[in-house]
Amino acid sequence: VKELLGKLPQLVDKKQKEIVEYNEAVANDEYDKELTLTEAPDLESFTPRYWKVRDKAFGDLDKDGVDDAVFVYDTPMAGDMDGTLRVLGIFRKTDAGYKLWKQCSSIILDSNSGGVWGDPYDGVTINRGAIIVSHFGGSRDKWTYTSIYRYQDNDWFLIGSKNGAFAGGDYAIVSDYNLSTGKINYSSEKWNVMDE
């Protein structure tokens, strides 16, 4: 404990310098606005300075039997409602490491776009070769957005979306769109707590 307490002032000083450096870079617009590396031996090397890895998922996205990777990044770029932009990066596994396959800043909602809930990001997964991105937010009335993306016809496409809105004791609405088949499932339920 004494050794740790002795190092504490140095650790605090180092962290304070990092915060000042980050704030200056943001104020002067001196940071990467996108993923700049196209190939790297490991996934960590793709992360630009001042960006942070928020989430990651692994799975076979191109049906070659090898797991690819999807990363969600927090960036310093200003978003809506005093939040920051997120970037989703898709990486294909290669013999030498990984290759940047696709990046997009419009798939993940900004860090403060969840209403009273705050950060709406609720996770990324890979299932049956598809990338699934989930969001959740609201206040009294809650909402969910789930988007599904797949690589087909040599590009990435939105193939499905499931959206919900609900308020405890009042209503629940869910719509599920399959853009590959053209099918839409919709359900709604309303109730009045006072009748119970």
- CA gap 192, 196 in Å, rounded: 7
Tens digit of each residue's pLDDT (9 = 90 or more) over 14-63 = 999 999 999 999 999 999 999 999 999 999 999 999 999 999 999 999 99
pTM for this entry:
0.86
- CA gap 164, 23 in Å, rounded: 37
- CA gap 168, 166 in Å, rounded: 7
Tens digit of each residue's pLDDT (9 = 90 or more) over 176-195 = 988 888 888 877 777 654 44
Confidence of residue 196 (pLDDT cuts 50, 70, 90): very low
pLDDT (0 to 100) of residue 192:
56
Range with the lowest mean pLDDT among 64-68, 103-107, 159-163, 164-168? 164-168
- CA gap 147, 120 in Å, rounded: 14
